[in-house]
Amino acid sequence: MSEHTERDDRDDRTETDRPAADGSRSRDRDALTDGGNVTTPFDVVSEYEETRQDRYRKLYDAYIYAPVSIVWRDWRARIGFSIILLYILMGTVGTWIIEPTTVAEGPALAQPFETMEYPLGTDDMGRDLFSQMVHATQGMLKMIAAGAVFTVVAGTTIGAIAGYKGGTTDSVLSSITDIFINIPGFPLVMVLALLLPIGGNPYLVGILLCVASWGGLARAIRSQVLTLRQESFVEAARSMGIPTRKIVFKDIVPHLMPFVVINLTNAGRRVIFEAAALYYLGILPFEDLNWGVTLNLAYNGGAHYRPEALHWFLVPMGAIIFISIGLILLGQSLDRVFNPRVRARHEKMSADAAENIDNDENPTNTIGGL
């Protein structure tokens, strides 16, 4: 405030314009500011005070509340989440509650729903199929998690960098990607499964199953980035001198999030499919019964031509199909969280605080979504 007093005497304006206390500038200077009682731009203070709590609430709204409420409004999300949650419960709590099954626990090939003791029936050695399914879940979930994370991290990183950088980087990364795409994935996994001593570790099996499959994602991401890197916002960021790493992961990759998320769930599904196939063919060594092993035993037990053994096939198939329905639904609904159009609609609705939430269910009756 001391600078104001120096200039007090030169002030020729009256107190009608502003409080007398800081009336200190010429008309020219007034034109630069908007006539407020601020002399330098550094004195500007927001008229609202934002406490730390407010800031946390905003972050919470943006990153937790909005996604969750968008997701929850979608029927797919509700079903998908419930299914996955059910499997997680089966893999954790279920293994405590349900006792592991043994040979000759019950009669051979009891039909499903015959007795409450064996709700899904038994196989030809009298093992409870329900218990087999529950106890296989934990290992399967570990495989899925390991495989999905590996695929998405490797695929997105390599694809985005290759597509954006171009030149030599692209050539080198694309060559590596090409090799992995071109190696016939499933046969390679078959060979590796025989070669590597990974039999019992579900995390390693999960990663092994995805060893050849990140290439497809990397290539798809690269092709998307190739089209995105010509966009104006990327060019703007580049001309502002923002480092490449930031442009790729802060500006470009978020645009591909729907794609990446769908691939996350796809990778999970692939792990289940391939694991079950490898166990079904008898290529991965059995240690415990899991869904694929049960399929293998059923096939070898001739369940495909013995009508009374049909459920032996259907139960593990059901377990595989059901979790994969859950994964697809989840992927679809998470896609909506990252979709800017859905997000914008959500924000508009929150602002209106309107009750007509149902509108969200069929937002784009008009063709082209406009």
Partner 1 sequence: MARVDWRVRRLAQTGFTVWAVTTLSFVLIRLMPGNPMGAMVRQLESQGVDPVRARQLVELRMTIDPDKPIPLAYIDYMGSMLQGDLGQSTYYAAPVTEVLAQAMPWTLFVLSWSLFISFFIGISVGALMAYWEGGKLDVGITSWAILMGSIPFYVLAILLLIFLSYRGGYFPTGGRQPTGIPPGFNWPYIKGIAYHATLPVASMLVASGIASLGMRGNSIRVLGSDYLRVARLRGLSDATISTQYVARNAVLPMYTTLLISIGEMFGGSVVLEQVFQYRGLGYYLYSAINQRDYPLMMGGFVLITVAVVIALLIADLTYGYIDPRAGGQNDESY
Q: How far apart are CA 341 and CA 150, in angstroms?
A: 29
Q: How far apart are CA 6 and CA 168, in angstroms?
A: 64
Which lies closer to partner 1 via its Cβ, residue 23 or residue 258? 258
CB of 214 to partner 1, least distance (A): 12
CB of 190 to partner 1, least distance (A): 6
Token readout for 41 is 């731009």
**DSSP assignment of 159-178:** HHHHHHH-HHHHHHHHHHHH
Q: Give the 3-state DSSP-derived string for 329-370, with helices as H, strands as E and coil as C.
A: HHHHHHHHHHCHHHHHHHHHHHHHCCCCHHHHHCCCCCHHHC
CB of 4 to partner 1, least distance (A): 51
Which lies closer to partner 1 via its Cβ, residue 24 or residue 324? 324
Cα distances (Å, whole numbers) of residue 107 to 124, 300, 317, 359: 8, 19, 22, 54
CB of 303 to partner 1, least distance (A): 8
Q: How far apart are CA 331 and CA 261, in angstroms?
A: 6
Which lies closer to partner 1 via its Cβ, residue 47 or residue 358? 358
**DSSP assignment of 210-269:** TTTTHHHHHHHHHHHHHHHTTSHHHHHHHHTT--HHHIIIIIIGGGGHHHHHHHHHHHHH
Which lies closer to partner 1 via its Cβ, residue 355 or residue 361? 361
Which lies closer to partner 1 via its Cβ, residue 23 or residue 268? 268
Which lies closer to partner 1 via its Cβ, residue 23 or residue 267? 267
Q: Residues in the chain, how many?
A: 370
Q: Do residues 212 and 189 make contact, with C-beta atoms less than 8 angstroms apart?
A: yes
Token readout for 111 is 């039909």
CB of 177 to partner 1, least distance (A): 10
**DSSP assignment of 12-57:** ---TTTS-GGG----HHHHHHS-SSS-SSGGG---SS---HHHHHH
CB of 367 to partner 1, least distance (A): 5
Cα distances (Å, whole numbers) of residue 202 to 88, 151, 199, 272, 331: 15, 16, 8, 12, 23
Which lies closer to partner 1 via its Cβ, residue 51 or residue 227? 227
Which lies closer to partner 1 via its Cβ, residue 115 or residue 223? 223
Which lies closer to partner 1 via its Cβ, residue 134 or residue 225? 225
CB of 27 to partner 1, least distance (A): 45
CB of 307 to partner 1, least distance (A): 8
CB of 171 to partner 1, least distance (A): 7
CB of 218 to partner 1, least distance (A): 11
Nearest to 155 by CA among 296, 263, 317, 230: 263
Which lies closer to partner 1 via its Cβ, residue 200 or residue 340? 340
